[in-house]
Structure 1
Amino acid sequence: MTETAVPIETRIRRVAILGTCVSRDMIRIATDEAVQVKKYLARGTVRSILAKSPGNLSYGDPADLPGFERRNFETDIAKSAFKQLSNVEADICIVDMIDERLATWNNGDTILVNSKGFEVAVGKLPPPWKYRSPSAIRAETLERAPLWATKLKEAVGAMPIVIHRAVWAPGGGADDDAVRDQNAFLNQLYDILCATLPEAVAVRADDAFQYAATEHQWGPAPYHYIDPYYKNVWAAIAARFPAEAHSQQD
């Protein structure tokens, strides 16, 4: 396997991420943190981000949660992801949809993600709340995806959007059927986002790099990739934003 070199000459210095560790790790591994992550929002889904806030929901002290999980839990409770993005100054906004693997709790128009932060702070919710598995909500997710994309565009304004078409990779502990099933759904979702956001830059790793890592900082999973994956995707992004396109103000 030949590892793709990462172009250094790019105008990207600051990024916002609405996605998961697959995009955050890319910045760490491919740029050695030379690119600044101005905002990183994770543990959200299409349906949950668009849903209403639960209002008077009783839960434990979020201060007991690690910072990353606490911030994402509070963002989900407040439904503030798009508002936060609207206040970020960055060169691009990277999105990926790997967190569509997460289950949700539903109560009418209110939806909360069953994240680690939720499990610690809330645990389980009584009726009328209903637990929904990821596979049970796919059709609703696809139906709501165009609105999610439209709201994303409204939030980031003129900031370019990069759709990181991250999917599950073999070798991460999931069986082949599960990988194929999840990827069929993810590719449908990415296709909808690309159609709704024709001006967005869509990137994916070359097939030669689509492998899960046997050893990874966050442990084995079909969305924890080998290091060359991240460098390959970042090279594709950097190539779309070359240094000569940098504004005179920077």
Structure 2
Amino acid sequence: MGLSVLFLRVEAITVPRAFIYGSCVGGDTANVFPSEWDRPTYVARQSIISAAFGPTEVVGDIELTSAFQRSMLEGDIEATAFPRLRQELPMHDALILDIVDERLGVYELAPGEYLTRSMELISSKLIGKQPVMPRLIDFGSDEHWGLWSRSVDSLVDVVKDSGIPVFAVLPPWSKKSIQGADLAWHSVSVESMNNKYARYNEYLVQCDFTIVTVPDDEALGDAEHKWGLAPFHYTDSVYESLRDQILAGVSS
């Protein structure tokens, strides 16, 4: 009796995945992606400035109890964003970039050494432990803009050889919530912040990234957002619009 051998060809199943470099805006957009997309890679709380200039030496303990917050702050100190992009981005299908984490500026700890002024850094009490008080460089200032634009040039160099499409997610900050409340940010008007962001957004346009946004009148905040009410915590329809633009770009 002959022996029949059955050969089965098993084809690898490729699951699409996004790499998010940014804030809750990119993360919340990825959260409404179709279920066939894998859980995204997420690098947050790292200004493009601190990422481009490299690791920073700090002293003192990090006073954070949240493992996630500690991880984000340690990533900023070690400037992990660019090395991770170089190594991991080719294994993804899209880079989702947003710049909401730039809003608080950066600290200069020494010439050429910068840390993102994130809520994690503020809560860690690390800044007050440095032997020389770090200097704050405000978002929107000419100094910040100069450092940031140079750093974006470095980011372009990091991602351009990957062949992965880059989507700059740049919805305007919300002036109103869907519930009808006027919005501000720590007593700063949304109009003022949108004006500050304008030249940053335009620079990303010039980098030939695919720009993903919504009209001003559609950019509404939501008091029921899981992170609370803020000008950059939007309604579900905003995230769905951003998602649809990204998916159309990936499939084109």
**Whole-angstrom distance in 2 between the partners of 1:69 and 1:34:** 28
Letter in 2 for 1:90: H
Q: In structure 1, which of residues 7, 10, 15 is the aligned counterpart of residue 18 of structure 2?
A: 15
CA distance 1:145–1:113, shift in 2 (3 Å): closer
Asked which structure has the greater CA Rg, the reply is 2
How many pairs were matched up?
227
Counterparts of 1:183-222 in structure 2 under 5 Å? 183-195=194-206, 197-198=207-208, 200-222=209-231
Q: CA deviation at 1:141?
A: 2.9
Give the letter aligned to residue 78 of structure 1.
E
Residues 225, 153 of structure 1: alpha-carbon distance in 2 compared, 3 angstrom cutoff: same
Equivalent position amino acid for 2:171 in 1 = A
Tell me the CA shift for residue 71 of structure 1: 2.0
- Pairing 1:179–2:182 present: no
Q: Please point out which of 129, 134, 148 is paired with 2:138.
A: 134
Change (3 A) 1:208 1:119: closer
Q: Aligned to 1:111, what secondary structure does the other structure show? A: strand
Q: CA deviation at 1:230?
A: 0.3
Q: Distance in 2 between matches of 1:177 and 1:73?
A: 26
Residue number among 212, 233, 241 corresponding to 2:250 in the alignment: 241
Q: Identical aligned pairs, as a percentage?
A: 22
Shift of 1:39: 1.8
TM-score norm. by structure 2 comes to 0.79
Q: Which has the higher contact order (CA 8 A, sep 6+)?
A: 1
Whether the 8 Å contact between 1:145 and 1:192 is mirrored in structure 2 is no
User: 2:3 matched to which residue of 1?
Assistant: none
Structure 2 residue runs of 5 or longer lacking an equivalent are: 1-13, 178-182
1:8 matched residue in structure 2: none
Retained in 2: the 8 A contact 1:106–1:129?
no
1:59 alignment partner AA: G
CA distance in 1, matches of 2:147, 2:56: 19
How far apart are residue 20 of structure 1 and its match?
0.5
Contact preservation (8 Å) 2:17, 2:38:
yes
Q: Separation in 2 of the partners of 1:33 and 1:134?
A: 39
Structure 1 position 74 matched with structure 2 position 83:
no
List alignment gaps of at least 5 residues for structure 1.
1-10, 246-250
Offset from partner CA, 1:87-110 (integer Å, 9 cap, x none): 211101011111111243222221
Contact 1:102-1:114 within 8 A present in 2 as well: yes
Q: Distance in 2 between matches of 1:141 and 1:37?
A: 33
Q: Which residue of 158, 161, 164 maps to 2:169?
A: 164
SS in structure 1 of the partner of residue 141 of structure 2: helix
